[in-house]
Structure 1
Amino acid sequence: MIITLKKNNPAQVEPLITWLESLGISPHFIVGKQQTVIGLIGDTGVVNIDLIKSFDIVQDVRRIKEPYKKVNRKFQNDDTVIDINGNKIGGGNFQIIAGPCSVESWEQIYSVAQSVKTSGATILRGGAFKPRTSPYSFQGMQAEGIELLLEAKKLTGLPIVSELMNISHLPLFEEIDVIQVGARNMQNFELLKELGMLKKPILLKRGLANTVEELLLSAEYIMAGGNENVILCERGIRTFETATRNTLDISAIPVLHQKTHLPVIVDPSHAAGISYLVKPLALASVVAGADGLIIEVHNDPSHALCDGAQSLTPYEFSDLARVVREVLPFAPPSYTYCSTPNKVICPA
């Protein structure tokens, strides 16, 4: 449920808030550019809409039919902008995250970090803990990999994105700037609840067999815990097609922007599974309105211990970053949920 307020003295709001809290409802204030609204979290079935409307400060009351609330664009009209060490994502701000699938050595991670930074990446990705389909595949350098990532951060200044697989590993991620929740853990609700207690940005990847609504409900788990720094990532879904590793759901980008205020980035590397497809999929994502890209880059893909087939060389990444910069001026800068009967998307 959403309450839209008139422009009144804040003191006039207190009786309304006190009454709502007495019903076990948690009010959440959103101050937008055009208006101030109160989003109600909890069992709003006990709330009498006509009684709310009787308060002088109330302009309008609406129920939200979707099961996700804090994530909902109806709940917050303005795009959420997430700041990662000065690099903003969302609301017209675009960033490229790049780096190897997994950290393999100091020489590898430092070489890739230097090259992607030179080409325009502003955030370094690297896996220390790697979820693999086979138990015999390389599982990552783990704690040592985290140490190497932090050393690369110290020398290059690039903030770090790395995947957390188990909440017991959380102490190792204290200095990691963005915690990634991989596709396999998108519905690990106990993990999501724990991450909701942090203030650190969370990059939440869509599961390979999950709907858009399920992705948003997973984000809701994090936000319900108090952490509103969530970045959504479309990384391809499993379909009947076998020509690519997954099928990149380009339509999910505008759909997500219509449904949520959270930033949406795209991982074309995991969607394609083949390096030559990464560039066209990345460009399609930018034009569709993505707020960023996460690209796998390796200094020697043919000898990579993980996902070499989908990794770009530093030279190929440089070319991708160049054409992305050329396309960006023509991409939608941000989205605003318009308060019109047909609920259309309006570029800001």
Structure 2
Amino acid sequence: MAEPSAATLLEVRDLSMHFPVTSAGVLRRVVGQVKAVDGVSFCVREGETLSVVGESGCGKTTLGRCIMRIYDPTAGSIRYRTRNEGEVVDLTALDGRALRPYRRDIRMIFQDPYASLNPRMTVEEIVGEPLVLAGHPRNKALHRRVGDLLEQVGLRREYMARYPHAFSGGERQRIGIARALSLNPRLLVADEAVSALDVSVQAQTINLLKKLQVEYKLTYVFIAHDLSVVEYISDRVAVMYVGKLVELAPTRALFARPAHPYTEALLSAVPIPDPRLRKKVERIRLAGEIADPSNVPSGCPFHTRCAYSDGNRCVREVPALRTLEDDRQVACHYAETLELKGAPQVAT
């Protein structure tokens, strides 16, 4: 892994999150582990959007929850550069009260705009709750602050007295974004933040996030599976497979010329806007199912589905994540020799 630069806001190093598998019966012995995240390393640069992509079950949501310290990682470190003259702290070494200052700086936007808002609270209470928990008094200043936040996300101040049921999915997600912004964070972890929304509303929400990023000088870790959205919003893309990082590259380079066969397969499924070109593009359909994270195959975890596997080194040896040209990292034994196809809209 490349050394973090002075602009690095967050550095994840050798991060693992393993969940125990217990046997049936009274004793409940630990008989295995689900390796949801397994030795992941990357940096998040200040002001950028780093997207994390992969199939369901690849570990991307677990990774986001580890960054948020919702989960206590099994191993590794999450090094965060604070506001205090660049002081760096390891968030995995903190707990309880020691984490409170960093929970203000690192906030989350949740996937489900319906489940993430308390139906018994008004919009003013929902957006203002983080401020109240941080010690802000319930006064006119708080009322004004909530109104300002609503306007920042494109909602009217008059909505403060309403309850979540009065809003559409897109409006509810805007309320969730306003809540995430309430403590002036530096880093937002967006976990499938637009996947539950209609396509037109997705575009509006993505444009809002891009606007807020400039206004608030935000850094995003954007967890998603829709590569069309990822291409539009991201500066760099990290691809995960069965708990491991298999490729990380600048967005344009990754979409034009992937270096890992799994990335190539994902990009082949990117929808093509022009219906006349759809028949010209052959989608790569991977054989079998995604590997079981509690029983990961030997060698490269992708070799059981990879059309380029040599049946020898790929089966025996786990490929290390190494740095290639163009600020790209890849975990594939044959990345330098493979000629892989990019996303259809780029390749055609």
Which TM-score band applies after superposition, normalised by the shorter structure?
Answer: 0.3 to 0.5
Larger RCO: Structure 1 or Structure 2 (Cα < 8 Å, ≥ 6 residues apart)?
A: 2
TM-score, structure 2 as length reference: 0.32
